Structure formats: structure tokens, C-alpha cells
Structure 1
């Protein structure tokens, strides 16, 4: 299996290079990795202090890592912090501004044995954290070989994953390399117990800590707030599949203002949405530069980085992705104490927070425009709305403290 895995990494590298000729995202991934080793060398030369390294797949996993990074720095303030990303959607967003506590960021090289050993030797970390699921076998084996303390945090496992299949021994052995695995829920712990992985603790999802912090001090957008004259519904990280259901609902909702944040900023797609929407709409880039901003019913956010704070204006939220590639972050609006709608999930076990939100009474799956309308009508009743808002606040409050609990266990074991 290891031979097949290594061949797969070589194939992945070649396919990404071929794909980069047509895909802007893949081009960023390829070009971003060209100088990784030199960047690591320069960083290490200038930073001799002890180093902790966090690896994340993309932006969502980085948001899970941030509370753990903050908790780590609280315990070990003199350590440096390095963060590696696999996906451009994480790295390219994070690199735009200085990140709290983080001293160095880079792309993780493609996981061939040569790349893995070279990267680990150059970075020479004193402790390593992988976040959630982005587990690269050769890199993990290189870390284990050098006896560097290795942890997996915010992990969430499902029965259908390769680790639990009849052919999954190679990947099971990768899990056994970790000194301690911190999981989000009891289901994950039980699955690991059945594999014989013993160093496992349930510490929850650090995203709750992160979204709660954001809700306490969101970015201010007075130019938006001044234009709000009705109840607002924020449509976050939406795709075309979501908008197929949402546009008919928008067009018949005369008493609601909508803020739409597309998952991908594509001017052609946004313009097509605006043409299909019959209510007055404007792009944020145009709106914010107007001396006398025009009144709008629909505001389309055509940039990255605002969404997590826009929920402060929302009475309800709809989070996209469930109909397509996967549900995006429903915890951000829940942290503001508002009910959340989302599309029908193909794999409920892959997004446990959705199931939990339904159990609490603040999450509502909707399969089409009529169900969206039905839920909003129900949540327009004061009694039902207040009940859902209280449930959202309780859900988030019940799940705070993951990062501190994780670090408490690590400190005890060291």
C-alpha cells in the first residue's frame, strides 16, 4: 500500500501541474510551493527559538487551529509558531494579513518521501499538530521517525473512512503514529477504540471558541448598517445550487433585506444572479464607493473576509454548500445567536454540527424554495424565533473550551 500511496503522490503532483494551466487555484498551489524549502531555510536561520508546527488543509481547518494556537502561546509564550497549508484557499487568504501568534506560513510540499523528509529536517519542529483530517503519510512517518511529539486535534471520524476498511491497515498505522488524538465526539472515540488507538480524548471542536470570539468583536460596517430598514437574511458561502432555490424565495420576499456572500467570487456568476433577482441589488464594491449610497434590497458581497462579521446584522442565516460539495460553516451565525437554514445533507455524519444544531432546535435543513419559505414563516413568529435563538446560544456555550482542554492534557503529559 505504501508503494501505491507514493505513486499516487507522484501522480497528484503531475496532475496539479497539468491542471494549473487551466485552473487559477491550481496555479497558485504550484507556484506557491516553488520556494517553500528556501523560505523555510530563511525562517529557521532568523528564528532559533523552539518551534511548534501546525498543519491545516485550508481556511476552515486554520480557523479550528487558531484557538489551539492561542492556547499554546499562553502556555509556551517563547515558542515560535509555523503553519503549513495544503490548499490555496487557506494559504492565500491567511497570508494577506499578519496572523496573531503565527511567525511563519507556507504550503506543505507534495507528500513524496523525499519532500517529507527534507521539509521536516529543514523546519526541525519541536512539536507538531495536525488539524482535523489532512493527514499526509510520509510527512507523519518522517515526524515519528525523528521522535517529535505529534498530535491530532479537532479530529472527526466516520465509519466509511479508509482507516476503518478492510484494506486500511497502512492508514491505520498512520493514526498510531500520533502521541495523542483529540476528537470532537464520542462516535470518533469509539471508532478509534475499535482500531486499538488508545491515546484518545474527547475535547470537542475548537471552531466554537473561534466563532464565539468573532461574535464578541465583529468588524464594523457602518455603511451597511445605515441602509438596514428591514429584517435581514444573510446567505453565506452560497453556490449556484443554493441560489437556484434561494432566488425564487428572494423575489417574493418584499419585507426582507438580503446580504449574499458567494463562496467563490466570480463576476459573471454574480451578474447572472443579479439579473435573475427582481429586487433592487448592488455589489458591495460599487455600493461602498458611492457618495450617496443607493437603497438596496439585496447586497452582494464581492470580496473575501467580511462574512464572519456580517451575521451581526442577520435575523436569520442560510449557509450554502450542502447541496453540492459540502456544508460550510454554520457555527459562525450560530455564535451570533441566530437560527440557521441549510440544504439537505448527503452525508449527515460528515457534518456533526448540523445534526447537533437540529437537536438543539436552531438548525433547519431545507430542500427547496417552499421549505425555505415555510421555515422563515415559522421563525417569524416571536415565540418560535426566540426559542431558536436561545438554542443557538446554548449550543455554542455548551461547546466552548476545546482549545484550553486540549492544551491542559498536553501540558500534563509533557
Structure 2
């Protein structure tokens, strides 16, 4: 029954995407990106003479987890061509020109014949799936061809189908993997409960390695440094409307501080909304164009790619997503700079959120009043503030090393050859 529903899903998904593409930009990109994708793969790999390493990521967040591994393997095995695939436009469109991979494509929609054709074309020697995306026919094909298949930075939760009576088909998917590298002990325990215990390693979360790498290579942003100079600064990253409506009163009434707001989406309508909520705010592009001569205490970031560096300029970091249904965005990007992190109440699915709240390196608030009280306390109580800074920074330092553990396994098992 599970397989029947899965096949129905993979057949209906492209049809629904085509309908949505008529009025939804993201769906349009999903559809357009897969047009003639098998032909383009065939043309590309007909010219590729090197052995191939394939990594698949659902979206941008998963890519950031896989990236440290990919870059370490490229350094250790320069003779391999790297294929990077994405399911979502939010990953592909941002990273389609990433220089760390030789070939970047949308993953063709899962189907038996299509998966066989994909493997015939690409001929990967090692396959890495990142975190939690499972495409049955691609996984099955790797197993049948005896191609090593690893799950890296894996997470598992009790509510997933694998761990329920109706999940036999999904459990079968897991049998295709040679090894699971999971982020936390709880995930390993869940896998052990359904018979997977000898091919599971608690490696940790590669995002810790990635944010350490980013912070270690930090390059200043002169315009931001100019804006922040001499002021306490609150950087709000990856915000949604609900986050901004919680924060706007504080920003509009504490005008002696500096604020940098980096909305998760930068569509014109969203930027306009931010400029309406935050009184007197200016877009970063406009402020930069005027050489910093515009008077404002609040910048709205209208580009992609700066956020991980913006947190370095913060006194306190606010990370968005916690007032919506999906939960918080990447708080490690802020914590690596030894900054206190604040977010909304929806964070229970994120281990780093739970850990950092317990360590008092991060704080969760449920409404605007709590947020304002917390920000005032952190800005006025130096002992509390410095303790939060230390706790946040130490949490990141104490949890690095996942990339090295995964790469060491690949080397020890000789899954790739130099």
C-alpha cells in the first residue's frame, strides 16, 4: 500500500507543479528546470571521462550541510567529477553556479525507468544523500548496482513513517543505504529500534563545520561596518512577516540602536512590507548607492548571500522562522560569532535550538512583549550578555568534527580511490 501511494505521489507531483506554475514562480522554476533534463545530462556526461561522485540535496539548507563534505572530498580526490543535484528551486537557483561542483542539475523526478537511465548516464561510484530526502527508485538502483550509498547529516524523528506500523515500504528504502551518519544519538536509537544499528554512526551535524569555515574566512562589509559604527546592533536574519510584526515596535521605539533586517524572501512586495513595518527604514542598495548619506537607524537587506557575515556585526541576533509553522532558520550562523541568539516559540524540531536554550546561549520568546523585555535585559545586563555570548560560541566549538568523521569513513572503506 505504501508503495502504491508513493507511485501515485511521484506521478501527480509533476502534474500539480505544472498547474501551479501558471501563477507560482517557484513552481514555474521547478517545471522549467526539468525540461529536457535527461537530454542535458546525457550530453554532459557523454563528454565526462572522470569517475563521478554524486551528492543530492533537497534544497539550500541541505546543501549547506553537504557542502563541507563535498569540498573535503574534492580536496582529497581531485580526479573525480562532482555531480550536485537539487530537488527544489530554492537550492538550485541559488547554487547553480557553485564552483565546488563540476555539474549541477535538478534531480529528474523519481520513476523506475528514469532512475535506471540516470545511473546509466552518470555512472556514479559513490552516492551521498543529505539529511532526509528519500527517492525510492534512485535508492533502489544504487543498491541493485552495488554502488555505495551514504546518508549524511541524517535526522530521524518518532513521527516519521519508518517507525510506524504503516511504514514497511519506507523502512525498505532505508535498506538501500550502506551507512547512516546521523546528527544525534536519538536518531541512532530510532534506527536501532527497527533493526539498523551496525551501520549507523553518530557523526554530528556538518553545519557546525560549515559555520566555523564561514567565520574563519570572514571578510568585512565596509558599508555595514560604517552603518553600525559606535552603536549597539540587532541583526534580524531570515525573517518572515510574523517575525517582523513581533519586532517592529521595538525597532520603531528604540531608535538609538542600529537594526539590520534581512528578510527570508526579497520579492518587491516583501521588501515593501518591511519598509512599511519599520518606520524610516531604507533598503541597503539605496543606502549604499548614496554612500551611507541617508539618515536611518534601520537597513533592509535586499540581496542574497550576505547574512552569514551580517551576524558578525550584531550585538544580539534575532533569527526568523520561530513565529511560523516551519520553525527557526539556521541559528548556528549567528552563534559561531559568539552572539546571543533570540527566536520565536517554534523550535522544538531543531536540536540546536533546544540545546542552546538549555545552555542559555539562545532565548525563545512567545510575543512582542517578551521579546522587548529580553532585548532590554541583554543590552543592559553585561554579566548576562557575556555569559550568553560564551555559551553560544562554545556550543558551536564543542560540536564540530562531523565532516572529518564522514570523510575518514570514506577513506577507510576505500569507497573512492585517489
TM-score by length of 1: 0.96
Task: Please say if 1:38 is aligned against 2:39.
Answer: yes
Structure 2 equivalent of residue 369 of structure 1: 368
1:195-246 per-residue CA deviation (whole Å, 9 max, x = no partner) reads: 1013000000000111111112224321121122311111100001111111
Structure 1 equivalent of residue 50 of structure 2: 49
> By how many angstroms is 1:292 displaced?
5.4
SS at 1:326 equivalent: coil
Contact 1:227/1:296, CA 8 A, preserved across alignment: no
> By how many angstroms is 1:400 displaced?
0.9
Contact 1:57/1:134, CA 8 A, preserved across alignment: yes
For 1:323 and 1:161, the matched residues in 2 are separated by 23
Structure 2 equivalent of residue 146 of structure 1: 145
> By how many angstroms is 1:39 displaced?
2.3
1:157-209 per-residue CA deviation (whole Å, 9 max, x = no partner) reads: 11001111110011011111100000000000000000101300000000011
Structure 2 equivalent of residue 16 of structure 1: 17
Aligned residues, how many? 409
Q: Which runs of 5+ in 2 are unaligned?
A: none
Structure 2 equivalent of residue 88 of structure 1: 89
For 1:323 and 1:275, the matched residues in 2 are separated by 19
SS at 2:400 equivalent: coil
User: Cα RMSD between the aligned structures?
Assistant: 1.3
Structure 1 equivalent of residue 70 of structure 2: 69
Structure 1 equivalent of residue 259 of structure 2: 258
Contact 1:127/1:150, CA 8 A, preserved across alignment: yes
Alignment of 1:158-197 (within 5 A): 158-197=157-196
For 2:125 and 2:358, the matched residues in 1 are separated by 41
Structure 1 equivalent of residue 226 of structure 2: 226
SS at 1:309 equivalent: helix
> By how many angstroms is 1:130 displaced?
0.2
Q: Which runs of 5+ in 1 are unaligned?
A: none
> By how many angstroms is 1:42 displaced?
2.5
Structure 1 equivalent of residue 322 of structure 2: 322
> By how many angstroms is 1:360 displaced?
2.0
For 1:291 and 1:368, the matched residues in 2 are separated by 36
Task: Please say if 1:302 is aligned against 2:302.
Answer: yes
SS at 2:227 equivalent: coil
For 1:290 and 1:320, the matched residues in 2 are separated by 29
Task: Please say if 1:128 is aligned against 2:155.
Answer: no
Contact 2:227/2:292, CA 8 A, preserved across alignment: no
Structure 2 equivalent of residue 58 of structure 1: 59
Task: Please say if 1:335 is aligned against 2:336.
Answer: yes
For 1:264 and 1:364, the matched residues in 2 are separated by 24
For 1:224 and 1:394, the matched residues in 2 are separated by 26
Contact 1:132/1:155, CA 8 A, preserved across alignment: yes
Structure 2 equivalent of residue 238 of structure 1: 239
1:301-321 per-residue CA deviation (whole Å, 9 max, x = no partner) reads: 111111111111111111111
For 1:326 and 1:21, the matched residues in 2 are separated by 29
Contact 1:6/1:113, CA 8 A, preserved across alignment: no
> By how many angstroms is 1:266 displaced?
2.1
Task: Please say if 1:209 is aligned against 2:203.
Answer: no
Change (3 A) 1:127 1:352: same
For 1:99 and 1:315, the matched residues in 2 are separated by 33
Contact 1:180/1:200, CA 8 A, preserved across alignment: yes
Structure 1 equivalent of residue 357 of structure 2: 358
SS at 1:269 equivalent: helix
For 1:389 and 1:395, the matched residues in 2 are separated by 10
> By how many angstroms is 1:254 displaced?
2.2
Contact 2:244/2:277, CA 8 A, preserved across alignment: no
Structure 2 equivalent of residue 106 of structure 1: 105
1:264-304 per-residue CA deviation (whole Å, 9 max, x = no partner) reads: 112223223322323x3110121121145313211001111
SS at 1:126 equivalent: strand
TM-score by length of 2: 0.95
Structure 2 equivalent of residue 311 of structure 1: 311
For 2:219 and 2:300, the matched residues in 1 are separated by 17
> By how many angstroms is 1:107 displaced?
0.3
Contact 1:154/1:204, CA 8 A, preserved across alignment: yes
